[in-house]
Structure 1
């Protein structure tokens, strides 16, 4: 029985708590949040312990912990958890700076702990199916992947702009589907309703031959989460929300058979399985750091109106 904890009981943290509490082979030892009333209520609901100081939770001898706190706190909380002996899942983005991301990765490596980054869309059944379709060559060589992730602004997002909050999802997914890193990025963005950017169009080049385009905003009154992958043999249309993939070629329109499942449940089950098998999880710290680098480069690009090279 793996002893697991969750640090951060906000909107996403509550989902981690719920899923761990239902998972076989896992004991939800405790949850931590600075909001005493919130964390005590959740602890009572899920029959576990409440902590307002996460160090007290880490002292319970956890095997694993989900870190679901504001991005600026990721470095300190993650390293404290790693040094306490826990395997760690850090919600995306891995950190607020590349330097802090590297510090988390180095701490995990030096302490022999597994580090996974919570890029949840990799565990969306539609993305899993599209990755299989691409690898089977059903679309031929993929030359362009574009995404649209737009919707109304969520007031709880205060510490980052739309690129780091939601654009990072599709930056990671495009790199994942191509199976290669981003080389260059150019972004156009602006801030109209938020102190950080609230709309952006991000152009990416991968290996100087492949194209990625990410459109994000907090201005559209309804939520859209879609991806289009263009290959020399056809095109795929993916809907993240409906968990559907349609393939169009010169002769057919086909809908992929996909069994819907909650992506976060897939993700946490995979994380626990990696721990049980001693297997390095993906997305790992390096993957998370690459998505962060590209996101930060996109921010630099729109602020300085220039193309940014991504160096590993």
Structure 2
């Protein structure tokens, strides 16, 4: 069977990493790349460098990786759909709910495989957490808490921290719990003099009764990527910077110390850091999308899921403006 012919549009900070993975992906030939600004990072590897999506499509590609700024996702996505080209679009799916809906509907109408690049879903720590939750290792889920903090990334200019970083936490929370957001309440701050928010604190309610809390900002002088999932049997702590997953079990040892014994919560139990394989999340994401295009079983972030994430992100922004809890 001939290899799939892939194209890549957008050769910026993320595009260069997509180019590296696509160039070495079994069963795939990266045939051409495109960016109106040219190949500034030198990732083309001798392949044609086009200026726009139409020229890229002319190379007869089967699918395309879209890594352009969010404001161009709709335009590029609709052009690919019209041409009958499958697409993996970097998160978020598009700049707002209306544009995301148009893109998702266009791919569905053509029967194309469309996916969104929420890469955190493929982090080994979260992949392990998801499978262990499914196996019942946490019992009933109570709460998901995420902290995603770090310095300002100069490459982001067209969206705020909610749609750029917060969408990671919205997607991974819904995926790891297999529950949807039903309502959110959020507060944002504008501290760096930019048009968009650079800090958010959000609380959410999920369809299965789990509650969530998300702290996201571009204002911390350190980098933190932590997800804490609490259930009846204990707690998973996933550090997605190191891809480590730690389990804190509820204690089973009775205490003879009255002050402690009278405490009505759980007690500390064993702590285990799992030894797990750690493949590169970006490579796993591309492998899954390739398999989806080939019609194989694959775990992709569908465009309908990506649309749902955009809706939740916009509900967070609306809540911050109105001071109200927003039903999703």
Counterpart residue number, 1:65: 64
Alpha carbons of structure 1 residues 107 and 278: separation in structure 2 relative to 1, 3 Å: farther
Q: Deviations over 1:213-245 (max 9, x none)?
A: 110011100110001011111011110010011
1:255 to 264, 273, 276: 273
Distance in 1 of aligned mates of 2:62 and 2:200: 39
Counterpart residue number, 1:83: 82
SS in 2 for 1:236: strand
Q: Scaled by the length of structure 2, what TM-score is found? A: 0.91
**Contact 2:141–2:232, Cα closer than 8 Å, also in 1:** yes
Q: Deviations over 1:56-97 (max 9, x none)?
A: 111111101001111111111011112222111011000111
1:267 to 285, 292, 308: 285
Counterpart residue number, 1:246: 246
Alignment of 1:143-182 (within 5 A): 143-182=142-181
Distance in 2 of aligned mates of 1:62 and 1:246: 42
SS in 2 for 1:183: strand
Counterpart residue number, 2:9: 7
**Contact 1:162–1:218, Cα closer than 8 Å, also in 2:** yes
Alignment of 1:128-207 (within 5 A): 128-193=127-192, 194-207=194-207
- What is the Cα-based RMSD across aligned positions, in Å? 1.3
Distance in 2 of aligned mates of 1:256 and 1:142: 20
Alpha carbons of structure 1 residues 37 and 234: separation in structure 2 relative to 1, 3 Å: closer
Counterpart residue number, 2:303: 285
SS in 2 for 1:149: strand
Distance in 1 of aligned mates of 2:30 and 2:143: 43
Cα offset, 1:36, TM superposition: 2.5
Query: What are the ranges of 5 or more consecutive residues in structure 1 without an aligned counterpart?
Result: none
Alpha carbons of structure 1 residues 261 and 281: separation in structure 2 relative to 1, 3 Å: closer
Distance in 1 of aligned mates of 2:28 and 2:300: 20
Cα offset, 1:195, TM superposition: 2.0
Higher share in helix: 1
Greater mean deviation of Cα atoms: 278-287 or 238-247 = 278-287
Distance in 1 of aligned mates of 2:160 and 2:171: 17
Q: Deviations over 1:244-295 (max 9, x none)?
A: 1111111311112211121111000110011112557521011101110000
Alignment of 1:13-162 (within 5 A): 13-36=15-38, 38=40, 41-43=42-44, 46-162=45-161
Greater mean deviation of Cα atoms: 275-284 or 12-21 = 275-284
Alpha carbons of structure 1 residues 281 and 116: separation in structure 2 relative to 1, 3 Å: farther
Cα offset, 1:42, TM superposition: 2.7
Cα offset, 1:24, TM superposition: 1.7
Q: Scaled by the length of structure 1, what TM-score is found? A: 0.95
Counterpart residue number, 2:219: 219
Q: Between Structure 1 and Structure 2, how many residues are aligned?
A: 307
Cα offset, 1:140, TM superposition: 1.1
Distance in 2 of aligned mates of 1:245 and 1:280: 23
Distance in 2 of aligned mates of 1:287 and 1:69: 20
**Contact 1:229–1:235, Cα closer than 8 Å, also in 2:** yes
Distance in 2 of aligned mates of 1:260 and 1:95: 30
Q: Larger Rg: 1 or 2?
A: 2
Alpha carbons of structure 1 residues 23 and 282: separation in structure 2 relative to 1, 3 Å: closer
Distance in 1 of aligned mates of 2:152 and 2:39: 26
